[in-house]
Structure 1
Amino acid sequence: MDDRIVVEDLEQLSFRVDRRAYTDDAVAAAEMTKIFDRCWLYVGHESEVPELGSYVSRDVGSRPVVMSRGSDGKIRVFANSCTHRGALICSQPSGQAKSFRCPYHDWTFSNQGDLVGVPIPDGYGPSFRKADFGLAQHQSETYRGFVFVTFDPEQQRTLPEYLAGATDYLDLIDDQSEVGMEVIQGAQLHGARANWKLMMENSVDIYHFRALHKRYVSYMESLGSTPPRRRGGFGSALGLGHGANELPPAAARPLAYWTPMFGEEVRPRIEATAARFVERFGAERAERITGTNRAVLIFPNLMIIDAIAITIRKIDPVGAGQMAITSVALAPKDEDPDIRELRKSHYLTFLGPAGFATPDDIEIVESCQRGYLNRTVRYSDLSRGMNKEVPETTDELPAREFWRQWDRLMRDEESR
């Protein structure tokens, strides 16, 4: 029996994924060492630590970390683990601090990671040096405000090299403001009883939109807006597992693309903003920045959905059959307050965990996970669009790019 999980046949235009990839505990364990311990992983956005001493703590690749802007202004990513006996040195999700104190024995570390305080230091011998016990610092890099970390000491790719063609899409996002983008305060933390890769597939799958999200389609039409069409746009493989779908203007974009669902009172300002983008970038790129809708998958577990509002989703595995999802909204720093409220409303209405779309997506990926328990059907099919030179957004090219990289890493065929 062929033991390959990803089975691609270019002659037959067939691309199949063995459902063991979603259900097998051994596969889930191998992913942590072969993928999450080797890739560049998204930590957060630099706007989340705007001031000296500000920090956020979260799990990245199942490892607790702290992203801190030190008193010297530099952003660092530390292991959230005391170098003495291992307890978390930061238990709050965010805040501002000059130092981090371990609650176990009061070892204290500066916001730059140095060990600065040890109670009863005369209990240690002459070879003990505080300089040897600073917080473990992970290799991190930033691209256009997006902070990534790698746990691989032999990582050979710089972050821009790793991001490959995805840098173009991060540029499109960061160029939406002349003064920078910022994460809107407040995160949605939820999950699903399904494998994490199902949500990665779902997030770049436009084929399901009108079938699964009928309520939202009806809601948009009732407000005079046009939902995404079944045809049109294009899908892209961006290299190293990254992919994107890009749609022509359809849904509302509070940045510089007005539709009736925003109301007439804001139309002049949105159209004036659109004109400024044309002045800055020219008509073609301005249209792409402000008008097109896109879903960008950055391998392995980051999704950026830039449609209606900008949503950053970090999708983390919790064993084979569960996932944890962290979702935040991104917006221009200089956005007018009422436009910001409009953005937040549309973000929550469609992309929030209690919105029109996300509950549909959670329910359907959980349905897939339950369906896999039958085990009679061995493979899932992701062949749609293989017969086209330029696949559309309703085809499955981005998902295939994800699975090709997944397969290379799991089979140790991809260099660091």
Structure 2
Amino acid sequence: MSQFIDDDREMPRFRVNRQAMVDPEVFAKERDQIFNQVWLYIGHETELKKPNDFKTRNVAGRPLIFGRDSKGKIQVWINSCPHRGAMICREPEGNARFMTCFYHGWSFSSGGELVSMPGDTSYGPDFERPGLVAPAKVDSYRGFVFVSFNPDVEPLVEYLAGATDFIDLVADQSEEGMRVLEGTHEYSVKANWKLLVENSVDGYHAVSTHQRYFEMVMASGVEIDSAKLGQSVGLDLGNGHAVIAGGPATGGLFGRPLSKEGTAERDSRFEEFRAKYGDEWLDRMSGSRNLVIFPNLVIIDLVMGVVVRKIDPLAPDYMEVSAWELIPPEEGDELKRQRLDNFLTFWGPGGLASPDDVEALETCQRSFASSKELPWSDVSRGMAGEDQPVGSDELQMRAWWRRWNALITGEVLPGEQHNPPPASYTAPRRVPEQQPTT
């Protein structure tokens, strides 16, 4: 048994020491041994619509500029002037060919080159004029852009491992390419960041924590099918990534019913995808998925909405969260309206799910003041037995914690051995046939 993880295969039992949630030394190790080493999400390509668009973001405690240069290429820069360190972009977003540091007036192009500096001649003809500095690595997968501060990090696709399948299931829902809507849902939680990672792939808490939401849905005339609630599995995707994958037709299960027109449009769109990708991939696509990409990115495709959630730890007991909605832009107005309504009702700042989750996590963090008397949290559900754990079990959290433990302590714990899930949960993506050119 390590300092933080009790992974007992004989009982079986899996526990996490609550010191991992409160200890400043653990938090410092996370910054150094996780966030400085792996791939981290910064944003989606569709947030930057035009050349010279930019957003400012924080990743691993570092201020970054996420933008397109004048030629339309995605660029990421450290948001710090190489002269004396002042932030170059202090606005959350904008469009500018040139970015000028307000401190001493050094100006840079959207491609990162230093283009002017007051009193240029005072520096001499041989002075090396520094440009903006980029993170060690920048790459993207299906529109999702990641950075790494580790020059030796493995290629992004290798890092994502089995998570690529579930990103594809989201990205394939649009012929034009899934697009992030304008606006960001930003909030903070007075709790350790790892609690929200757990919560994001925790199917066990749904009915008890979100009782008000289910009562509202049932009051609108929907009958919650308990059989469908059980049609999900938890999957370890490698490298700490994990997912709750729902079976066919669970994607809209938890939301208010679509109108007749909305249902007809959605069915028509999915039939087009069936012809393109085949029955098995379409069945997977029409299901739901709660995906965590280690360490702090969550993509949830549920209740007729896709939320992209970035979790930023700022202290052992405090995190900031940024969330965006991803949509297929070719949807009609009625279906888009209902998608937005379902999204806001469940995840929005005044919704009936996110505030419940925040309250639950903050009460956990307050109770961790008694971690000496009650040192362990249990994450054992679904560990016993040969069958693949279902979505209300906790395999997905254990997979994440084993990766966390390996990076923090160096101890590599083996994955669990269960019978494989039904093939319908893992059917491969059929490559669409290329249309003949004329």
Is the 1:252–1:261 contact (alpha carbons within 8 Å) kept by the matching residues of 2? no
Structure 1 position 276 matched with structure 2 position 272: yes
392-401 or 278-287: bigger deviation: 278-287
Q: Where does residue 257 of structure 2 map in the other structure? A: 261
- Secondary structure at 2:90's aligned position in 1? coil
Structure 1 position 319 matched with structure 2 position 318: no
Is the 1:142–1:159 contact (alpha carbons within 8 Å) kept by the matching residues of 2? yes
Runs of at least 5 residues in structure 1 that lack an aligned partner in the other structure:
none
Structure 1 position 302 matched with structure 2 position 301: no
Offset from partner CA, 1:154-212 (integer Å, 9 cap, x none): 22x10000000000000001000011011000001101110000000011000110011
Identity of aligned residues (%): 41
Q: Where does residue 339 of structure 2 map in the other structure? A: 343
Is the 1:205–1:396 contact (alpha carbons within 8 Å) kept by the matching residues of 2? yes
- Secondary structure at 1:373's aligned position in 2? helix
Q: Which one-letter code corresponds to 1:303 in the other structure?
A: V
65-74 or 243-252: bigger deviation: 243-252
- Secondary structure at 1:359's aligned position in 2? helix
Is the 2:202–2:392 contact (alpha carbons within 8 Å) kept by the matching residues of 1? yes
Per the TM alignment, residue 10 of structure 1 is displaced from its structure 2 partner at its CA by 1.3
Is the 1:65–1:80 contact (alpha carbons within 8 Å) kept by the matching residues of 2? yes
Structure 1 position 191 matched with structure 2 position 182: no
Offset from partner CA, 1:30-75 (integer Å, 9 cap, x none): 1101111111000000001121111111101111101111112211
- Secondary structure at 1:216's aligned position in 2? helix
Map 1:64-83 → 2, pairs under 5 A: 64-83=63-82
Is the 1:141–1:147 contact (alpha carbons within 8 Å) kept by the matching residues of 2? yes
Q: Where does residue 236 of structure 1 map in the other structure? A: 235
Map 1:362-401 → 2, pairs under 5 A: 362-375=358-371, 376-389=373-386, 390-401=388-399
Q: Which one-letter code corresponds to 1:47 in the other structure?
A: T
Taking only aligned residues, the RMSD between alpha carbons, in angstroms, comes to 1.7
Is the 1:78–1:137 contact (alpha carbons within 8 Å) kept by the matching residues of 2? yes
Is the 1:252–1:262 contact (alpha carbons within 8 Å) kept by the matching residues of 2? no
Q: Where does residue 9 of structure 1 map in the other structure? A: 8
- Secondary structure at 2:350's aligned position in 1? coil
213-222 or 189-198: bigger deviation: 213-222
Per the TM alignment, residue 232 of structure 1 is displaced from its structure 2 partner at its CA by 3.0
Distance in 1 between residues matched to 2:225 and 2:213, nearest whole Å = 11
Distance in 1 between residues matched to 2:38 and 2:411, nearest whole Å = 14
Distance in 1 between residues matched to 2:8 and 2:380, nearest whole Å = 10
Is the 1:227–1:250 contact (alpha carbons within 8 Å) kept by the matching residues of 2? no
Distance in 1 between residues matched to 2:211 and 2:318, nearest whole Å = 26
Q: Aligned to 1:361, which of 357, 361, 386?
A: 357
307-316 or 272-281: bigger deviation: 272-281
Distance in 2 between residues matched to 1:92 and 1:252, nearest whole Å = 37
Q: Which one-letter code corresponds to 2:190 in the other structure?
A: R
- Secondary structure at 2:370's aligned position in 1? coil
Q: TM-score, normalised by structure 2?
A: 0.89
- CA change 1:61–1:260 in 2 (3 A) is closer
- CA change 1:250–1:194 in 2 (3 A) is farther
226-235 or 164-173: bigger deviation: 226-235
Per the TM alignment, residue 385 of structure 1 is displaced from its structure 2 partner at its CA by 0.8
- Secondary structure at 1:172's aligned position in 2? helix
Q: Where does residue 220 of structure 1 map in the other structure? A: 217
Structure 1 position 29 matched with structure 2 position 24: no
Is the 2:217–2:254 contact (alpha carbons within 8 Å) kept by the matching residues of 1? no
Distance in 1 between residues matched to 2:205 and 2:113, nearest whole Å = 50
Q: Which one-letter code corresponds to 1:74 in the other structure?
A: K
Distance in 1 between residues matched to 2:249 and 2:350, nearest whole Å = 23
- CA change 1:52–1:177 in 2 (3 A) is same
Q: Where does residue 94 of structure 1 map in the other structure? A: 93
Q: Where does residue 286 of structure 1 map in the other structure? A: 282
Runs of at least 5 residues in structure 2 that lack an aligned partner in the other structure:
413-438
Offset from partner CA, 1:77-109 (integer Å, 9 cap, x none): 110000101111111111211011100011000
Map 1:120-199 → 2, pairs under 5 A: 120-130=119-129, 133-138=130-135, 139-155=137-153, 157-199=154-196
Distance in 2 between residues matched to 1:412 and 1:252, nearest whole Å = 38
Displacement over 4 Å in runs of 4+: 249-252, 257-260
Is the 1:258–1:270 contact (alpha carbons within 8 Å) kept by the matching residues of 2? no
Is the 1:206–1:393 contact (alpha carbons within 8 Å) kept by the matching residues of 2? yes
- CA change 1:280–1:226 in 2 (3 A) is farther
Per the TM alignment, residue 412 of structure 1 is displaced from its structure 2 partner at its CA by 3.8
Is the 1:37–1:150 contact (alpha carbons within 8 Å) kept by the matching residues of 2? yes
Distance in 2 between residues matched to 1:397 and 1:319, nearest whole Å = 27
Is the 2:242–2:400 contact (alpha carbons within 8 Å) kept by the matching residues of 1? yes
Offset from partner CA, 1:271-321 (integer Å, 9 cap, x none): 2122212211222211211x2111000000001110010000001111100
Q: Which one-letter code corresponds to 1:76 in the other structure?
A: Q
- CA change 1:399–1:293 in 2 (3 A) is same
Q: TM-score, normalised by structure 1?
A: 0.94
Distance in 2 between residues matched to 1:251 and 1:224, nearest whole Å = 17
Q: Give the number of equivalent residue pairs.
A: 406
Is the 1:184–1:330 contact (alpha carbons within 8 Å) kept by the matching residues of 2? yes
Q: Which one-letter code corresponds to 2:296 in the other structure?
A: N
- CA change 1:259–1:127 in 2 (3 A) is closer
- Secondary structure at 1:179's aligned position in 2? coil
Q: Where does residue 426 of structure 2 map in the other structure? A: none
Offset from partner CA, 1:82-140 (integer Å, 9 cap, x none): 0101111111111211011100011000000011111101221343122xx10001210
